[in-house]
Amino acid sequence: MPIHQIDPTTSQAATELIGRLESANAKVLNARASQQFIDGLLKMGLAFAVFLVDVADGTSQLSAEQIQGGLASIERHCDQIESDLPIAA
Amino acid sequence: MNKAELSFFQKAADNFFKFAKETLPAAGTNAAVAAVPMIAMATYSGAMFAIGVMNRDPLAVEAAYHTINNPESSTWLAALAGELPFEAANRAYQYATGAVATGVAVGSLSKVIEKFGSLREEAGHLRKENEMLRREYVGNRAGSDRTQDTLANRLSTGLGNMNTKIEQREQATRTPKPGPGMR
């Protein structure tokens, strides 16, 4: 029971981020890096995923401001992984 | 973790802590905690793991890996019995217990597994924790609004502590940036 309506643009943004986060997670999973590094980043990914699924489905009970802030954090997370992920040669 | 990994991990963790602080209610807002229990639980686990790994405390790391190394035992139940090797982890998990005991909708985790092939295993750990904890609490002491209230209180306190810890870290790592920056 959402306590407020989530506008379609926001749900759409969340849906797009689901695809991006999934790719980022896959990149982490396949990275030749230490186990702690991989596990830590995936645990962050899990919290982001729960958030995104709720927002995409319009079931999130967070405020509009919290949702925008969360989406921005997840975008930064994906940016970092897409451009800077250290992978041992 | 090698140097490059640690430096990347710290950047990712700082971003994650920002998310945690913005998304999770601070202490004293039980209703808000009850509204987002699964995000609270996942975020809390992630933050504790990251803090443990970054502190490079062997006991903290062992605590962080409890679920993975002990597939049949619940980290949360072990913590409630005070069995985790890292005292801070014990306390953190005790606080966080409210997230699962307030009647979490596991539905959102199933959807995560559906949409994120990459997270099947991580989400599985969290779901198992949730199930074990529910059996313990909801099964034995269920129905008591007072129990749930107390647990929600503990979670709320724990989240407040986490926010404080994150703030301390932010202040310790804040470096002056040249120019006006992004904001």
Percentage of chain B exceeding pLDDT 90 = 3
Residue from A1, A34, A42, A43 to probe the interface with B (highest B Cβ count within 10 Å): A43
* Tokens encoding B172: 């310790």
Phi (first) and psi of residue A82, to 5 degrees: -65, -35
Give CA A18 to chain center in angstroms.
6
Task: Tell me the average pLDDT across A49-54.
Answer: 88
Residue B48, chain A, CB below 8 Å: the answer is no
C-alpha B183/C-alpha B170 separation (Å) is 17
Q: How many CB atoms lie within 10 A of CB B7?
A: 13
Evaluate whether B126 touches B42 at the Cβ level (below 8 Å). Answer: yes
Cβ–Cβ below 8 Å for B19 and A48 = yes
Q: What is the mean pLDDT of chain B?
A: 64
Smallest CA–CA distance, residue B96 to chain A, in Å, is: 14
ipTM of the complex: 0.91
Nearest Cα of chain A lies from the Cα of B147 at a distance, in angstroms, of 24
Residue B18: how many other CB atoms lie within 10 Å: 17
A57-61, B44-48, B178-182: range with lowest mean pLDDT: B178-182
CB atoms closer than 10 angstroms to residue A8 = 9
Q: Which of B7, B19, B42 sits opposite A70 (nearest CB)?
A: B19
B117 φψ region: left (φ > 0), alpha (ψ -120 to 50), beta (else): alpha
**pLDDT for position B66:** 66
d(CA A61, CA A54): 8
Rounded Cα distance, B101 and B136, in Å: 9
Lowest mean pLDDT among A18-32, A56-70, B136-150: B136-150
Q: What's the confidence (pLDDT) of residue A86?
A: 87
Which residue in chain B has the smallest CA separation from A84?
Answer: B8
For residue A14, the model assigns a pLDDT of 95
Of B15, B20, B43, the CB nearest to A77: B15
Render pLDDT for B77-99 as a digit per residue (tens, 0 to 9). 565 556 665 555 555 555 455 44
**The pLDDT of residue B139:** 42
> A79 vs B133, which has greater pLDDT?
A79
Contacts of B9 in chain A (CB under 8 A): 37, 40-41
Nearest-Cα distance to chain A for B67, in Å, is 12
d(CA A57, CA A49): 12
Asked whether the CA dihedral A82, A84, A87, B3 is positive or negative, the reply is negative
Return the amino acid letter for B2.
N
pLDDT single digits (tens) B120-176:
777 777 666 666 655 555 444 444 444 444 444 555 555 566 666 666 666 766 665
Q: Per the CB < 8 Å rule, is B23 touching A59?
A: no
Q: Where are the beta strands (DSSP E) in B13-107?
A: none
Q: Is residue B74 helix, strand or coil?
A: coil
Please tell me which residue of chain B has the smallest CA distance to A70.
B19
**Per-residue DSSP letter, B103:** T
